[in-house]
């Protein structure tokens, strides 16, 4: 009897604590860390009176897992990469964006719109983009010695390479070296890519996706894969760094804003998106986070040294060699994972 009473009391206390908080005029923002500066958030709050709850994540995968597990997680705006936009829109996790409500959408560069990962941009608003290429530190004397991904396989780079810790990015360099698409789902091609990577193993020193900028500046590693935005940032503190756009092609990644289905404050989300699309805001953001912006109107406002800097904004002829990442089937993803595990454990 007493036991039942105790359990009952505890249950009451427990469930009474599940009351939902009152809904204010807020925006629940959920993006990558380091891309939206605080002063922009403060400016938005001042201009619109909307309070922003700003949370950040460190990878697409963790953001996706959380929203998949609880669709009512309560976020209003998220910032997935291109292939996650693809995946999430196919699974009905994203709200269709009514572009008539975004008066500044016309600022966007048409080059980055209507790609295969989101035709007509029904679900995403591109925010920042970048390229994965080869970086070169100070130790390599002949700067023109590397022009292709294939060069990384040379013996002189034994135990010197830093590759990104991302299975699709690393497989992309083998697929490109073999002449295939970075979004290849063909098991035979994937296997060939794996075998090619196995040959590269002796040259790989570390796999790293975080703290890359520190490594570039401090020259812990002097050659490998990196994002052009990271290299541009690092070059400010170490001018001897160089960035190469490989001849076989490269990955172009785009991070876009999207609105999850069940977003509790949809109107505020639209207000925010339109705000971020403004040329002056996008320009301030780009100057602060050092990433290239897909906002053409903003780009025109940037200082000439940045607009003409080939590391940040490669020429059109070079950019054409790049490929956007799209979603691939679960079976193909599985295959990539298996080979990735094999590569790390046996390579």
d(CA 212, CA 39): 25
**End-to-end Cα spacing for the chain:** 63
- Considering the complex, what minimum distance in angstroms separates the CB of residue 58 from other proteins? 5
Using CB under 8 A, which residues numbered 12 to 31 contact other proteins? 17-18, 20-21, 26, 28, 30
Question: Is position 33 an interface residue for other proteins (rule: CB under 8 A)?
Answer: yes
Q: Which is nearer to other proteins, 89 or 104 (CB)?
A: 89
Q: Which is nearer to other proteins, 98 or 267 (CB)?
A: 267
Using CB under 8 A, which residues numbered 92 to 151 contact other proteins? 92
Among 25, 45, 47, 58, binds other proteins (CB under 8 A): 58
- Under 8 Å between Cβ of 260 and 75: yes
Among 45, 61, 154, 158, binds other proteins (CB under 8 A): 61
Using CB under 8 A, which residues numbered 247 to 306 contact other proteins? none
Q: Which is nearer to other proteins, 124 or 289 (CB)?
A: 289
- Considering the complex, what minimum distance in angstroms separates the CB of residue 250 from other proteins? 20
Q: Which is nearer to other proteins, 305 or 346 (CB)?
A: 346
Among 43, 48, 59, 326, binds other proteins (CB under 8 A): 59
Return the sign of the alpha-carbon dihedral for residues 138, 144, 150, 154. negative
Q: Which is nearer to other proteins, 67 or 298 (CB)?
A: 67
Q: What is the DSSP letter of 150?
A: G
- Considering the complex, what minimum distance in angstroms separates the CB of residue 59 from other proteins? 7
| Residues 6 or more apart in contact with residue 91 via CB below 8 angstroms | none
Q: Which is nearer to other proteins, 185 or 238 (CB)?
A: 238
Using CB under 8 A, which residues numbered 307 to 346 contact other proteins? 329-330, 333-334, 337-338, 340-342, 344-346
User: What Å distances lie between residue 316 and 35, 85, 302, 308, CA to CA?
Assistant: 25, 25, 18, 12
Q: In 3D, which of 213, 294, 268 has the Cα closest to residue 33? A: 213
d(CA 13, CA 259): 35
Q: Which is nearer to other proteins, 191 or 338 (CB)?
A: 338
Residue 106 backbone class (left: φ over 0; alpha: ψ -120 to 50; beta: rest): alpha
Q: What mask of x and - would describe binding to other proteins in positions 218 to 237, judged by CB under 8 A?
A: xxx------------xx--x
Interface stretch with other proteins, choices 61-69, 126-134, 190-198, 239-247 (CB under 8 A): 61-69
Among 25, 45, 65, 154, binds other proteins (CB under 8 A): 65
Write out the DSSP string of 173-197: HHHHHTT--TT---HHHHHHHHHHH
Q: In 3D, which of 331, 82, 340, 327 has the Cα closest to residue 183? A: 327
Q: Which is nearer to other proteins, 53 or 326 (CB)?
A: 53
- Considering the complex, what minimum distance in angstroms separates the CB of residue 203 from other proteins? 12
Q: In 3D, which of 102, 96, 129 has the Cα closest to residue 263? A: 96
42-57 burial code (b ≥16 CB/10 A, e <16)? eebeeeeebebeeeeb
Q: Which is nearer to other proteins, 136 or 213 (CB)?
A: 213
Pairing between strand 242-244 and 223-227?
unpaired
Question: Is position 90 an interface residue for other proteins (rule: CB under 8 A)?
Answer: yes
Q: Which is nearer to other proteins, 208 or 283 (CB)?
A: 208
Q: List the structure tokens of 114.
A: 């209507």
- Considering the complex, what minimum distance in angstroms separates the CB of residue 259 from other proteins? 14
Q: How many residues at the interface with other proteins, by CB under 8 A? A: 72
Return the sign of the alpha-carbon dihedral for residues 200, 327, 82, 296. positive
Among 75, 117, 245, 253, binds other proteins (CB under 8 A): 75
Question: Is position 240 an interface residue for other proteins (rule: CB under 8 A)?
Answer: no
């Amino acid at each position: 009897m007493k036991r039942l009473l105790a359990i009952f009391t505890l249950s009451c206390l427990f469930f009474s604590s599940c009351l939902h908080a009152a809904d204010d005029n807020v925006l629940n923002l959920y993006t990558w860390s380091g891309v939206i500066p605080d002063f922009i958030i403060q400016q938005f709050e001042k201009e619109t009176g909307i309070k922003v709850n700003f949370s950040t994540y460190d990878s697409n995968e963790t953001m996706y897992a959380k929203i998949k597990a609880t669709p009512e997680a309560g976020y209003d705006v998220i910032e997935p990469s291109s292939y996650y936009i693809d995946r999430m829109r196919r699974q009905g996790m994203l709200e269709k964006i009514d572009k008539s409500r975004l008066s500044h959408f016309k600022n966007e560069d048409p080059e980055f719109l209507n790609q295969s990962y989101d035709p007509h941009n029904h679900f995403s608003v591109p925010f920042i983009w970048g390229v994965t290429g080869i970086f070169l530190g100070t130790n390599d004397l002949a700067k023109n010695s590397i022009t292709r991904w294939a060069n990384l396989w040379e013996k002189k780079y034994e135990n010197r390479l830093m590759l990104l810790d991302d299975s699709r990015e690393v497989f992309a360099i083998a697929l490109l070296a073999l002449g295939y698409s970075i979004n290849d789902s063909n098991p035979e091609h994937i296997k060939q890519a794996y075998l090619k990577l196995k040959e590269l193993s002796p040259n790989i020193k570390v796999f790293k996706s975080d703290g890359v900028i520190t490594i570039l500046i401090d020259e812990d590693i002097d050659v490998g894969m990196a994002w052009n935005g990271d290299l541009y940032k690092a070059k400010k503190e170490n001018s001897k760094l160089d960035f190469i756009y490989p001849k076989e092609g490269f990955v172009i990644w785009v991070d876009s804003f999207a609105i999850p289905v069940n977003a509790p404050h949809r109107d505020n989300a639209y207000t925010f998106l339109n705000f971020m699309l403004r040329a002056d805001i996008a320009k301030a953001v780009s100057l602060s986070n050092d990433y290239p912006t897909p906002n053409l109107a903003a780009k025109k406002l940037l200082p000439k040294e940045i607009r003409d800097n080939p590391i940040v904004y490669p020429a059109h002829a070079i950019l054409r060699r790049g490929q956007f990442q799209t979603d691939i089937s679960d079976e193909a993803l599985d295959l990539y994972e298996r080979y990735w595990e094999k590569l790390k454990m046996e390579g």
